[in-house]
Amino acid sequence: MPLEYIDNFDKDPAFVASTAKDFRTRYLNLLCDAEIWLPGEFNFTFRVETLTGKAVTVGSSTYLLRELRELNARTWKADATLLQEWRRDGCEYQSPLETGARFAFSIMHSLAHEAVQHQLPMFLDY
C-alpha cells in the first residue's frame, strides 16, 4: 500500500486492478464506479442513462453501508467516535493516503448511514 499521496489513481496498479470489469470483489457497491445508490436491498448493480444522457452505475445504499461496515471491521475497527474524529479532522491536500482514506471513509459511511436510515437515494455530484 502506498504511504504517500497518490496524484493519479487512474494509474495506480491496485486501483486499476480492483476496478477492472472481471475483478471479483466482496465490495461491489464500493468498487463498481457507482454514482447513484438507491434505497433497498439488492446485491447487484446496473447501468442507466440520466436525464442528461450520461450513463451511470446504480447500486444499493443498504449494501453499500454493509460493505463499508464490513471493510471497517476487517481493517480499522473504528467505532462511531473515531469515525467522527476522522471526519472532523479532515484531510489536507496531498496528505498521506491513509489520512485521505480515513477521511473519505468517514464521510461515505456517514452519508450511507443517513441514506439507509431515512430511505433516501445517494447521488455523487462532482
Each domain of the chain, given as residue ranges in start order, spans 9-123
Is 48 or 33 the better-scoring residue by pLDDT? 48
Q: How far apart are CA 80 and CA 83, in angstroms?
A: 5
Q: What is the pTM of this model?
A: 0.87
Whether 124 and 33 have beta carbons less than 8 Å apart is answered as no
Per-residue pLDDT for 3 more than 80? no
Query: What is the mean pLDDT of the segment spanning 30-46?
Result: 93
Beta strands in the chain (DSSP E): 34-38, 46-49, 55-60, 122-123
